[in-house]
Amino acid sequence: MANTITLGGSIAWSQAYNGFRSFTIGSGNEPAISSANIILQSLISPPFSWNWNRSKATFTTVVGQQDYTQGVNLFGFIEKASFAIPQATITNTALSAGVATYTANNNFQVGDLVTVVGTTNGSGIFNGKNLQIATASSTQFTVLNSGSTAGSAADTGVATVGTTTELSETETILGTGSEPGQPVRISAQVDDNAGNITFRLQPAPDRVYSVEVIFQKRIPQLINSTSSTWAPIPDHYSYIYQWGFLALMYAYNSDPRWAQANQKFVSNLLGAAEGLSEEQKNIFQSAWLNSITEQQFRGLEAQQGVERRQV
């Protein structure tokens, strides 16, 4: 998605509503830079989740191990997570004396119910649903099969045990625990600020699972000049941030029109946001209103200071 609109373009647009006052005072180009970053950080922070800002990380668990450090650049916060027993790719099949043998690197256990699809040896007699595993090793597993004998042959296919299960609880932090079981909770336990995130599971995995973490990314870089774009926010969301920026510029100049611009910003933002509860919307509106009111007061104080110096 395109990110071509610059802060300079937003400044030019908002100046037309503010008597062409300067919003880039001094070498720091303030208050434009900080105001733009306030808008940017507000959009790319909880509770907001965007399909254009979504990514994922995957890792494989070890029995009894609770923490997993992954290189996840620009990790922001977890949206969803799930786990499943890794699928096995079949490379050979054989059927003799009522026992079907599958050659495949796997993490299956005796008693698991396995579904096999895609095999061709023996005209598909090795395919089946919810077949109970009789024996299992890291390279082979067997099931009972009353079909005709089929000689050992190279084969293809996929074996699946279980289903993908959502990790229902996402926490900020989890305690240390060695109790084994299917994971229920996950946290982004440690961020080393070098692109490495340590995910913690609880309970500690009782077997090998493949875990997928879907997350929202953090801002890659704050706006630092008037030539900076509003990335990662796509251009087609400019109808949101332009009104937010104008509201802050109105507030800086103690212009009562800030309330109207702010209403447009908030309504556009909440209308575009995905999956927010009414409680989350109310909390954001309250926090944002407090923030912009403080911005207005700071602008008024600055203006009064200039007037006093001119007396």
Tens of pLDDT, residue by residue over 219-234, are: 999 999 999 999 999 9
pLDDT band at 309 (very low <50, low <70, confident <90, very high): very low
Q: What pLDDT does residue 104 have?
A: 98
Query: In this model, does residue 308 exceed pLDDT 70?
Result: no
Q: Strand 204-205 and strand 180-181: pairing? A: parallel
* pLDDT at position 237 over 70: yes
**Per-residue pLDDT reduced to its tens digit, 36-73:** 999 999 999 999 999 999 999 999 999 999 999 999 99
Structure tokens at 148: 């005709």
Percent of the chain exceeding pLDDT 70 equals 94
12-42 pLDDT tens trace: 999 999 999 999 998 899 999 999 999 999 9
Mean pLDDT of 169-176: 96
What's the pLDDT at 290? Answer: 82
Give CA–CA dist 37/230, Å, rounded.
Answer: 9
Mean pLDDT estimate for the chain: 92
SS (H, E, C) the chain: CCCCCEHHHHHHHHHCCCCCCCCEECCCCEEHHHHHHHHHHHHCCCCCCCHHHEEEEEEECCCCCCEEEEECCCEEEEEEEEEECCCEECCEEEEECCEEEEECCCCCCCCCEEEEECCCHHHHCCCEEEEEEEEECCCEEEEECCCCCEEEEECCCEEEECCCEECCEEECCCCCCCCEECCCEEEEEEECCCCEEEEEEECEECCCCEEEEEEEECCCCCCCCCCCECCCCCHHHHHHHHHHHHHHHHHHCCCCCHHHHHHHHHHHHHHHCCCCCHHHHHHHHHHHHHHHHHHHHHHHHHHHHHHHHHC
Confidence check: pLDDT of 298 > 60: no
pLDDT of residue 307: 41
The predicted model gives 279-295 an average pLDDT of: 83
pLDDT at 1: 72
Tell me how far apart the alpha carbons of residues 76 and 220 are, in angstroms, rounded to a whole number.
10
Q: What is the token pair recorded at 98?
A: 């009522």
Share of the chain above pLDDT 90, in %: 86
Query: Rounded mean pLDDT of 257-279?
Result: 93
Residue 165: pLDDT band (50, 70, 90) is very high
pLDDT (0 to 100) of residue 296: 52
Q: How far apart are CA 207 and CA 65, in angstroms?
A: 10
Please give the pLDDT value at position 27.
85
**Residue 131 pLDDT > 70:** yes
Predicted local confidence at residue 295, as pLDDT? 56
